[in-house]
Amino acid sequence: MGDRLKTIFIETYGCQMNFSDSEIVGSILSKNEYALTTDITDADCILINTCAIRDNAEQRIRKRLKELKAMRRNKPWLKVGVLGCMAERLKEQLMNEEDIVDLVVGPDAYRALPELLSQVEAGSKAANVLLSEEETYAEIDPVRLGSNGISAFISIMRGCENFCSYCVVPYTRGRERSRDPETIVNEAKRLFERGYKEITLLGQNVNSYRWDCDGGKVDFPELVKRVAEINPKLRVRYSTSHPKDLSDKLLEVMATYPNVCKSIHLPVQSGSNRMLKLMNRKYTVEWYKDRIEAIRRYMPDCAITTDVIAGFCGEEVEDHLQTLELFSWVGYDYAFMFKYSMRPNTYAHKYLKDDVSEEEKTRRLEEIIALQGKLSLESYRKDVGKTFEVLIEGTSKRNKEQLFGRNSQNKVLVFNGNGYKPGDYVMVKVLDCTSATLIGEIVEN
């Protein structure tokens, strides 16, 4: 294939961490004589960065691989690589059964991509899915793929050691390890100097961030403090928090610094103590409620969002009703809601029974979705009449005359532009809302 392999397109599925990883891959390749393209039709190699968290995510990627196989009929030189969690979980299967896949690379082996691509270019298949206990890609300055030039992700740690019984992440991403805080702060400084106004600190469980060095220990609240102090005009977000580790110290930092956004994603997964124990979540409903009350105490205006699983192994109607009860008690602003799908090699796959019927899972999920729709609308209606500082992110898809942005609570606001542009901060008064969007007007200072 010769030099044609030099043009690479990266397609990303799944969580924010995957998008951050794609930017690391882009940086590694662009510094090794590979050109990145945003047009898939120009690509000579397509890298699919994959997710394995749910079965439907893997099915989407398998469908995509079949589409790429058809594309290769007209471009016989086209090479395809699978990166990330699905690559880690299904290396042998992808290499042996998927005749479209030339390259399989796990999330800790991206530094090896130039060498592996050279093997592919020479006509061989190539793979590296070795997990690492040290790799954090700390000194790599990621390219910002598809960026709006305003918001960016920074990975502060990798891996997970929570071993929730339903989850494949500890097996696909390995042990927890944190980046040197100095490299994180420096990356955030560089982004701000380039004009970025918002960064999101990423980790499978950011609350577990720990760095021990000669200069002392740095935990997650201290890291957030250091990033917030770069500049008051740099917004700071983070994702994701585990309820068992959400500390008052972090809430104090969030309450102290206005540029640390008042929005916390706190996955609950179930409102039943029995189910939480089966899920190995390591907290109780009572502990979770205590954390919610602490958030409200430190930051009454903080938005709270969550994840929930409907129909986990052994879930009974009473467990489901307890989840609905907790949703109503918290009054979430938004939720990511899913039916349970058994993932191979997890604790649940080995020791529990997926005994809730698909129909019942769907019924329970629909009840949760309906309740959350009401809660979201209530949350947004409470904001009507209020004025928020909004960071403008772009032009509204529905009306090119309007702009959109988000407030500190991570809610989207749409409003007339009045000559402002993406990257500007404006004060917006909310006039109306839907269950997902606030509609307002700029209030001139």
Is the pLDDT at 350 greater than 70, yes or no?
yes
Q: Which of 5-9, 80-84, 363-367 has the highest mean pLDDT?
A: 363-367
* Sequence ranges of the domains in the chain: 2-128, 151-381, 387-442
Phi and psi dihedrals of 204, rounded to 5?
-60, -35
Q: Is 430:387 a contact under the CB 8 Å cutoff? A: yes
CB 338 within 8 A of CB 296: no
Mean pLDDT of the chain: 93
Q: Cα separation of 421 and 391, whole Å? A: 10
368-378 per-position pLDDT tens digit: 999 999 999 99
Closest among 390, 409, 373 to 301, alpha carbons compared: 409
Name residue 201's beta-bridge partners: 154, 238
Cα–Cα distances in angstroms (integers) from residue 322 to residues 316, 319, 342, 375, 403, in the given order: 10, 5, 22, 16, 40
Percentage of the chain modeled with pLDDT above 90: 74
Structure confidence at residue 2 as a pLDDT band (50, 70, 90) = very low
pLDDT of residue 102: 92
* Distance separating alpha carbons of residues 24 and 11, to the nearest angstrom: 13
At 445, the pLDDT band (50, 70, 90 cuts) reads low
Beta strand 103-105 with 126-128: parallel, antiparallel or unpaired? parallel
Whether 387-442 and 151-381 are alike in CATH topology: the answer is no
Which of the listed CATH numbers 3.30.1740.10, 3.80.30.20, 3.10.450.50, 3.30.930.10 matches domain 151-381? 3.80.30.20
**Pairing relation of β-strands 103-105 and 425-433?**
unpaired
Q: What digits encode the pLDDT tens for the residues 287-297?
A: 999 999 999 99
- Cβ–Cβ under 8 Å, residues 345 and 93: no
Question: To which H or E segment does residue 389 belong?
Answer: strand 387-395
Name which residue leads in pLDDT, 363 or 175.
Answer: 363
Torsion of CA 340, 342, 348, 349, to 10 degrees: 170
Q: What is the mean pLDDT of residues 101-124?
A: 91
**186 phi and psi angles, rounded to 5 deg:** -65, -40
Task: Return d(Cα 330, Cα 374) in angstroms, integer.
Answer: 13
At 385-400, the pLDDT tens digits run 999 999 999 998 888 8
pLDDT score of 1: 44
Radius of gyration of the chain (CA): 23
d(CA 268, CA 281) in angstroms, rounded, equals: 9
In angstroms, the CA 39 to CA 217 distance is 45
* CATH 2.40.50.140 is held by the domain 387-442: yes
Residues in the chain: 445
Q: Which residue has the tokens 């992110």?
A: 393
Residue 270 clears pLDDT 50, i.e. is over it: yes
The hierarchical CATH code for the domain 2-128 is 3.40.50.2300
CB 16 within 8 A of CB 84: no
At 386, give phi and psi (nearest 5°).
Answer: -85, 160
Residue 3 pLDDT exceeds 60: no
Give the position of tokens 């662009």. 30
**Closest by CA position to 368, among listed 390, 404, 408, 338:** 338
pTM above 0.85, yes or no: yes
Q: Which tokens sit at 383?
A: 């904001």
The DSSP element (H or E) to which 81 belongs, if any, is strand 79-84
Number of helices (H), then strands (E), belonging to the chain: the values are 14, 21
Instruction: State the pLDDT at residue 97.
Output: 66
For residue 324, list its beta bridge partners. none
Rounded Cα distance between 271 and 281, Å, is 11
